[in-house]
Structure 1
Amino acid sequence: MQIKIGCCGFCTARSTYFKEFNVVELQETFYDMPSEDRMRSLRSEAYQEFEFTVKVFQAITHSSNSPTWKKMKYKLQGELKNYGYLKPTRENLNIWDEFLGRTKPLNARVYIFQTPPSMPVNEDSCKWVIDFFRTIESKDLIFCWEPRGEWYRREDLLRKVLDSTSIVHVVDPLKRKPLKISNVMYFRLHGLNHGEVNYRYKYTDNDLEKLSKYVKSELNSVLLVYILFNNIYMRDDALRFKKFIES
């Protein structure tokens, strides 16, 4: 098993980050449509084996009434109501094609789709997600989905999506276990003890030891595990966790 540990976003100077970690989840790609020049520049700064994973543009995952849309400068075409929530609409699919092309210079394999708690959870949205991922499926890419909100009250629908597609189920394993074990697993850690996210939480040694034991014992059949920290103390927590994994 290979284990890659890093952070959601650069939490220190990039030159320092590249020395400390071998993977980063890009966050700027979520807030706005990235430019190829920017992606090419980031790729050129990193050493060859360094990996970029990509958080997908919010126009595909979040509806137009999301507060994060206010940061978006990119001008979308078509009907705004057809964007977001992984709907298999012409608008979403077209913007996905453009996004994929613009991030190509990164040579990324892993793309993370994080949907918000506001996403409706019913038979219709279940079908949206299945159709969307089946449409964009690629043998060369790994698609990871972090659903939030009511999906965990309707595990029947969540399981249906996971069983009907090749996507990786993204969770924080200290909160809940993934409903599907794949050859590749992807975990995002947003803090504990307060709902979906608690960015001010600092992981304890006990937390990190528990996570290390889970990865080493329960995921020993998995080929590749990504563990990305996404809290205020992400750099320190990730560096400490590396020591638990290496011990």
Structure 2
Amino acid sequence: MAMNAEIRIGTCGYSFPDWKGVIYPPNLRPSLYLVYYARTLGFNAVELDSSFYHMPAISLIEALIQKTPPGFLFTVKAHRSMTHEVWNATKPAAPGRPAFPDLASGLKNAAALAPAFTAFWEAVTPMADAGRLGTVVLQYPPWFRDTPENRRFLLTTRDLLPRLPLSIEFRDQSWHNGDALTFLRQEHLGYVAVDEPQLRNLLPLVPAVTSDVAYLRLHGRNPNWFGASRELRYDYLYSKEELEQMLPSIRTMAASAPLMFIMTNNCHRGQAVQNARDLQAMLLFPEQNRT
């Protein structure tokens, strides 16, 4: 099967305290991490994940472009106000627990959503105009199920982010039942395939492509996924054998789009970098990788 896609391999985020002294030299200033990631480590793409927690500013986006060589691509995770804080009401939080959306309150309408979406769009559009945006990653929570209302919400999201490529990561199995992937294809919305632990309520790797961008995120296979803290959840190093078992799925996806991203999210202590390099060796230099 021909791999038509230009394959870009990188990591989900690049600035982590526990990469200091492991991936980055101990004396390297954090402001230079991305320069080192692109020029010294030699990656040509990264997923920007800080934008989920902090709405990106145009000044940040411009700085990221300036720190990376021409041709380096970013994928940018949508801010949580666009994916996780989209219901009209939240239930009071139990002590020490985050507030949970009141799903019965319904989803916010376009007018209520517009300020957040506009702020994000205005920050990211210069990156798109510069030819440096691969796609926007919209990661929805497990309680965002495949319903008519939620499908309409995805179309509202697309309308509020005009001219930006969108790739959607679901966390609920219902999106794999029925015609959800056909819906995405018809509406030119991308699908994010995931590799994660095969535990109850987590999704299998479905090598689907529904837009011009194929996207695979590797979350690791930590068996203590539900018991671990957010930092330790991604403490996992894929073996070469595990990565090789994914190659048929990767080739299937790469045959279906002109551009493919493979992003490693097992970022604990830089394991994502090692596995991204492993994948580069397997996919980009396969003749050197045969044992």
Give how far 1:130 is off.
Answer: 3.1
TM-aligned CA distance change 1:218 to 1:190, over 3 Å: closer
Alignment of 1:190-201 (within 5 A): 190-192=219-221, 194=223, 198-201=233-236
The answer to whether the aligner puts 1:130 opposite 2:155 as a matched pair is: yes
SS where residue 113 of structure 1 aligns?
strand
C-alpha spacing 1:212/1:163, structure 2 compared with 1 (3 Å): closer
Map of 2:60 onto structure 1: 38
Alpha-carbon shift at residue 40 of structure 1 (Å)? 1.2
* Percentage of pairs with the same residue: 24
Q: Which residue of 2 aligns with 1:182?
A: 211
Q: Which residue of structure 1 aligns with residue 98 of structure 2?
A: none
Counterpart of 1:186 in 2: which secondary structure? strand
Asked if residue 7 in structure 1 is aligned to residue 11 in structure 2, the reply is: yes
Give the deviation of 1:210 after TM superposition. 2.1
Work out whether residues 48 and 75 of structure 2, in 8 Å CA contact, stay in contact via their aligned partners in 1. yes
Structure 1 stretches of at least 4 aligned residues deviating more than 6 Å after TM superposition: none
Q: Which has the larger radius of gyration?
A: 2
Matched-pair contact (CA < 8 Å) for 2:214–2:256: no
Is 1:18 equivalent to 2:34 in the alignment? no
Q: 1:147 aligns with which of 139, 153, 170?
A: 170
C-alpha root-mean-square deviation of aligned residues, in Å?
3.0
Q: Tell me which amino acid in the other structure corresponds to 1:243.
A: A
Deviations 1:79-128 (A, max 9, x none): x989xx98552122332122111223433241010001133543322322
- Measure the CA separation in 2 of the matches of 1:23 and 1:58: 22
Write the distance in 1 (CA, Å) between the matches of 2:53 and 2:209: 28
The question of 1:239 aligning with 2:291 is answered no
The residue type paired with residue 16 of structure 1 is Y
Matched, 1:168 2:222: no
Cα–Cα, structure 1 residues 221 and 160, in superposed 2: closer, same or farther, change >3 Å? closer
| Whole-angstrom distance in 2 between the partners of 1:44 and 1:146 | 29
2:264 counterpart of 1:229: yes
- 1:210 maps to a residue whose letter is Q
Structure 2 residue runs without a partner (length 5+): 16-23, 25-32, 94-100, 197-203, 287-291
TM-score normalised per structure 2: 0.69
3-state DSSP class of the match of 1:188? strand
- Which stretch of structure 1 is more off in the superposition, 56-65 or 28-37? 56-65
Is 1:212 equivalent to 2:216 in the alignment? Answer: no
Q: 1:137 to 1:178 in 2, by over 3 A?
A: farther
Is contact 1:61–1:86 with CA below 8 Å preserved after alignment? no
Q: Call closer, same or farther: CA 1:155–1:179 in 2, change over 3 Å.
A: farther
Q: Post-superposition shift, 1:178?
A: 4.0
1:115 partner letter:
Y
CA 86–171 in structure 1, closer or farther in 2 if over 3 Å, else same? farther
How has the CA–CA distance of structure 1 residues 218 and 54 changed in structure 2, closer, same or farther, with 3 Å as cutoff? closer
Q: Which residue of 1 aligns with 2:83?
A: 61
Give the structure 1 partner of residue 113 of structure 2.
92
Give yes or no for the alignment of 1:29 onto 2:51.
yes
**Structure 1 pair 182/122, CA: closer, same or farther in 2 (3 Å)?**
closer
Q: Is 1:123–1:157's contact at 8 Å kept on the other side of the alignment?
A: no
Residues 46-125 of structure 1: matches in 2 within 5 Å? 46-63=68-85, 88-107=109-128, 108-125=133-150
Change (3 A) 1:132 1:38: closer
